[in-house]
Structure 1
Amino acid sequence: MKYNLLGKSGLAVSELCLGTMTFGGSTGEEESIEMIDRFIDLGGNFLDTANVYVSGRSEEIVGKAIKNKRSDVVLATKVRMTTSDNVNGVGLSRKHIMDGVEASLRRLQTDYIDLYQVHVWDHATPIEETLRTLDDLVSSGKVRYIGCSNFFAWQLMKSLACSDANRYVRFASIQPQYSLVSRQMDREMLSLCLEEKVGVIPWAPLGGGFLTGRYSRETPTEGRLTSKVGESAWINRASDKNFVILDALLEAAAELGKTPAQVALRWLLQREGITSPIFGASKLEQFEDNIGAAGWELPDDVWRRLDEVSALPADYPNRFIEKFRRPFELG
């Protein structure tokens, strides 16, 4: 297992992050803990959860699993979503964040969170209030680094500028959806993260299971892609272009003697600016398949082939700007 620094920080995280969204739900406690133990034994140190995963049960299981090895783990969780019927039980207000961090610390059985992430932008709360609160949590020692998730590029840049102007702690990372079949962040977000040295820890690196190779062009009858709504709904994945990408992935996997999931994750691992893709698994055999993305290199020609077939179409303003790129750097 290799390690990367998280954004501008000196925090080293494993090149793969174990996501725990299913823990306590479709994945039972015993198997969840077994996966965490196996991940750590293989050199993984980065675990991601959220206070709303399985109504907090995911955090409870993660806390139980790492209780006696806390210093070996970089623990990430999130705040923002609805946690109660109370009018203040949602959002990124000072109250909801303070209530949320205390509840997460109790469930996780720890006195600090390594990476505390805001789950999505809150239009009702000024970003200054959110960042001031997060800065206070870092100063108190309850949180060590902060991150965001599911932001527009302008929201991330506004947040970074606010932190710089007020000398608040900066977002060290962002957690966006990103995979061979979901490359929207290539338009602006990825270049912003490279420029500002913000770590990128993608979720759904296998397109909600689409890139595992288990789905044909027929509407599925089981698995996550049977959902009628959400990012992993079949209607959002089953495009003609995505099936072209899947065909190229299956061809590359057969050529290399690897599984489609391993090749899809490996493409991400070798993408500039990517810190640590978050992979999930509901069964131990899925975990073993996904962890097999570590420890080898995708040949350059195969990587380029997958990159080209999955690339976004050239559009404005990128198409226009590229026309006038200087062929050299000054100074």
Structure 2
Amino acid sequence: MSTEELKYDPKNMVFRRLGNSGLRVPLFSLGGWLTLGGTVTGVKDIIKTAFDAGINMFDTAERYANGKSELEMGRVLRELNIRRSDLIISTKIFFGTDTSGPNSTGLSRKHIIEGTRASLARLGLDYVDVLFAHRPDPTVPIEETVRAFNFLIDQGLTFYWATSEWSAREIEEAHQVAGRLGLAGPVAEQCQHHMFHRERPEAEYAPLYARYGMGTTTWSSLASGLLTGKYNDGIPEESRFNKHSEDSKFKKAVQELESPEGKEKIRKIRELTKLANEELQTTPAALALAWVAASPNTSTVILGASSPEQVLENLKALEVLPRLTPEIMEKIEAILGNKPAGPQTFVRTALDGGRKAFY
């Protein structure tokens, strides 16, 4: 363990509020699904590189590597000796690490509280900054779930709670219950958002952005690496699709690549690669990440990285972001051709020009 405290320098990192909360989070954060828990080596170097580059938010979950991700993150942060107040740590509760008991998973008051305490023990922390409900739980009354997360806030075990992979209806219900009880509702939603997955984050959640100021912490913004362009000419040996070939998620992704729809995606990515290289002098990965970050509803884009070099490559998106002019964005939309439709106004127009519909 380092005896000298590692000080935080934000460098050129952009910060946004996490939803409508007062918490400022870096526009790019680091996730621990593939990075932590034994999947890759050199975890300490990856986290230190991210921190040195201005990333001070790190996301994990009790489910990742069956708790090993939290253990590894806690170990590395202790070894780096980073001041706790300089860090934003988030984890997610739902799946548990031992599914043998009837209450060892889900969003009952029992598992939310016990699972969070177990996560904190693995992380070696007194609290996490943000605690996500990793999935909705229709088997538990929503009031019980809302009260349990607020109990943890009152106890100082987390500062904010949020959702992950919830529908707009489920998030709305949580807000309605929280409002009725005078409790804190979820401040953000951790959702998949990339150039080929847009309907939920851009259309379904639109009323929540307008009504509650909800923000998103996006994952898979490179579509499991597809938007890096490295699959444009086949599947490389060193790619995660080969490294994790037994994982059902990646098996399905490979099958989809070989389908007519998958081939059409590759065609579009080749065009995006050309646009990135010729007009922005950057990589398709940096373009794809900057594109997600350009949404005003994005609070932070969660990066996945298997090496320190990959962290720095992904952070080139910070340089691309201010160059995403309306003209460039229009060219991207023309290539993608999949922009979700906005709400129907039934020929009604806004009374004050420039303002959009309320959702």
SS at match of 2:91: strand
TM-score, normalised to structure 1, is: 0.91
Residues 191 and 220 (structure 1), Cα distance of their counterparts in 2 relative to 1, 3 Å cut: farther
Q: Helix, strand or coil for the counterpart of 2:300?
A: coil
Unaligned runs of at least 5 residues, structure 2: 1-12
Secondary structure, counterpart of 1:272 in structure 2: coil
Alignment of 1:1-331 (within 5 A): 1-22=13-34, 23-28=36-41, 31-67=42-78, 68-69=81-82, 70-84=84-98, 85-185=100-200, 186-216=202-232, 218=234, 223-225=239-241, 227=245, 229-230=248-249, 233-236=253-256, 239=261, 240-255=263-278, 256-296=280-320, 297-300=322-325, 301-312=327-338, 318=342, 321-329=344-352
Q: Quick one: distance in 1 between partners of 2:152 and 2:107?
A: 13
Aligned-partner Cα distance in 1 for 2:334–2:146: 38
Cα distance per residue 1:17-49 (max 9 Å; x no partner): 111112122212xx2121211212122121111
Please state how far the C-alpha of 1:196 moved relative to its aligned partner.
1.6
SS for the counterpart of 1:21 is: coil
The whole-number CA distance in structure 1 between the counterparts of 2:123 and 2:69 is 9
Q: Displacement, 1:218? A: 4.2
Residue 325 of structure 1: how far off its partner (Å): 4.0
Shift of residue 16, structure 1, vs aligned partner: 0.3
Give, in whole Å, the separation in 2 of the partners of 1:311 and 1:5. 30
Q: RMSD of aligned C-alpha atoms?
A: 2.2
Q: How many residues are paired up?
A: 326
- 8 Å CA contact 1:211–1:264 kept in 2: the answer is yes
What do residues 200-248 of structure 1 show as CA deviations (whole Å, max 9, x unaligned)? 1111000011001110364666633455733762234562442243123
Alpha-carbon shift at residue 92 of structure 1 (Å): 0.5
1: CA distance between counterparts of 2:348 and 2:219? 32
**CA displacement, residues 89-108 of structure 1 (integer Å, 9 cap, x when unaligned):** 11001111111111111111
Pair 1:237–1:170, CA change in 2 (3 A)? farther
C-alpha distance in structure 2 between counterparts of 1:221 and 1:37, whole Å: 27
Letter in 1 for 2:97: T
2:10 is matched with: none
SS in structure 1 at match of 2:219: coil
Instruction: Give the deviation of 1:310 after TM superposition.
Output: 2.8
Q: For the structure 1 residues 314 and 105, does the alpha-carbon distance in structure 2 shift closer, same or farther, using more than 3 Å as the test? A: closer
Shifted more, 200-209 versus 215-224: the winner is 215-224
TM-superposed CA distance for 1:295, in Å, is 3.6
**Paired residue secondary structure (1:115):** strand
Deviation of 1:12 after TM superposition, in Å, equals 0.5
